[in-house]
């Protein structure tokens, strides 16, 4: 795959809707590959029932996972997070990962 190939783009709000649709459809996993996610990804105060497998490319907006609960494994591999990745802090607003959180080869450009 050449570097000049234009990657598909997706709004972060669409990603949230697709996670809900995967659960409603009874799927066990939501996968997304080679896509640039635009805008803030806001999953705070949500429960995500399906496994999440998002690999390759970029999140352009901030990611807010405070008070989110992931019931299955979460894989953010080969991703670049350009803005803040907020999964809680030492004393408050922790994200709950019931299974594994895998971030192999992920790059956090800003605060994580």
Tell me 6's DSSP state: P
Residue spans of the domains in the chain: they are 9-108
5 CB-near residues (< 8 Å, 6+ apart): none
Report the pLDDT averaged over residues 4-17.
88
What pLDDT digit, counting tens, does each position of 28-79 carry?
999 999 999 999 999 999 999 999 999 987 888 999 999 999 999 999 999 8
Distance between CA atoms of 99 and 87, rounded to whole angstroms? 15
Instruction: Look at residue 86 and tell me whether its pLDDT is greater than 50.
Output: yes
Q: What is the mean pLDDT of residues 18-25?
A: 94
């Amino acid at each position: 795959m050449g570097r000049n190939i234009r990657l598909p783009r997706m709004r972060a709000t669409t990603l949230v809707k697709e996670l809900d649709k995967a659960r409603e459809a009874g799927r066990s996993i939501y996968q997304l590959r080679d896509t640039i996610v635009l805008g803030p990804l806001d999953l705070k105060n949500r429960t995500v029932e399906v496994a999440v497998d998002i690999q390759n490319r970029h999140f352009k907006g901030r990611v807010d996972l405070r008070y989110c609960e992931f019931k299955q494994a979460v894989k953010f591999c080969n991703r670049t997070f350009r803005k803040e990745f907020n999964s809680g802090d030492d004393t408050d607003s922790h994200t709950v990962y019931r299974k594994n959180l895998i971030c192999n080869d992920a790059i956090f450009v800003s605060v994580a």
